[in-house]
Structure 1
Amino acid sequence: MGCGCIVAMIGMAAPRFAIFLVWLFSDRMAIAFNGFLEAFLGFLFLPFTTLFFALVYAPVGGVSGFGWIIVGFGLVLDISSYTSGAKARADRAASI
């Protein structure tokens, strides 16, 4: 099992922690993103998408083919985490 697989498994439970590990122990974030601001905004608002983009980004060709499916899956995870949080808040408010 490669390092990328371990980070992806950690990322499924805690994507921001996985992004921090990738930033700390590799140069994937610097390779995948042009500047700090892009990576930081992704860290704040779209952590799954940011993590998966950094993991599938190739220095020469960027993201292509199946990599876009993985990035899209990250976007679906981000959107579902926001919508499930909003639903939980609405359910909690309705029960009071």
Structure 2
Amino acid sequence: MGCILALLALISPRLVLFVLWIFSSVLSRAFDSWIVPLLGFFLLPWTTLVYAAFWDWGAGRHVAGFEWFFVILAFLIDLGAYGQGRRVQAR
């Protein structure tokens, strides 16, 4: 199941977040409230997905150490997607 979700994440992180929300409790365990994953779904899907993945599959049910590098990288990918969208709109 993990490999299928990883392949789907390359296509659409929002789809994987939706599948995780429906079929598992990863998002509810990683976040204290429902509002943060909902905002992450619409605003920062890669960041939300990577944080939830490393929280659940990382060491000790928290994001620590080198795992934060991947969360920050996902955040930069989300920001880059917004920047690319603005650049295309400007043309």
Q: Could you state the TM-score of these two structures normalised by the residue count of structure 1?
A: 0.83
Relative to structure 1, the CA distance from residue 63 to residue 74 in structure 2 (aligned partners, 3 Å threshold; closer, same or farther) is: same
Distance in 2 of aligned mates of 1:63 and 1:5: 21
Describe the superposition over 1:10-40 as per-residue Cα deviations: whole angstroms up to 9, x where unpaired: 1122011010011111110001000111110
Larger Rg: 1
Task: Tell me what 1:57 maps to.
Answer: 55
Per the TM alignment, residue 74 of structure 1 is displaced from its structure 2 partner at its CA by 1.0
Relative to structure 1, the CA distance from residue 69 to residue 6 in structure 2 (aligned partners, 3 Å threshold; closer, same or farther) is: farther
Distance in 1 of aligned mates of 2:40 and 2:46: 8
How many residue pairs match? The answer is 89
RMSD: 1.6
Distance in 1 of aligned mates of 2:88 and 2:47: 22
In structure 1, runs of 5+ residues without a counterpart are 92-96
> Alignment partner of 1:21: what SS?
helix
The percentage of counterpart residues that share the same residue type is 34
In structure 2, runs of 5+ residues without a counterpart are none
Give 4+ residue runs of structure 1 displaced > 2 Å after superposition: 3-6, 58-61
Task: Tell me what 1:45 maps to.
Answer: 43
Per the TM alignment, residue 61 of structure 1 is displaced from its structure 2 partner at its CA by 4.3
Q: Could you state the TM-score of these two structures normalised by the residue count of structure 2?
A: 0.87
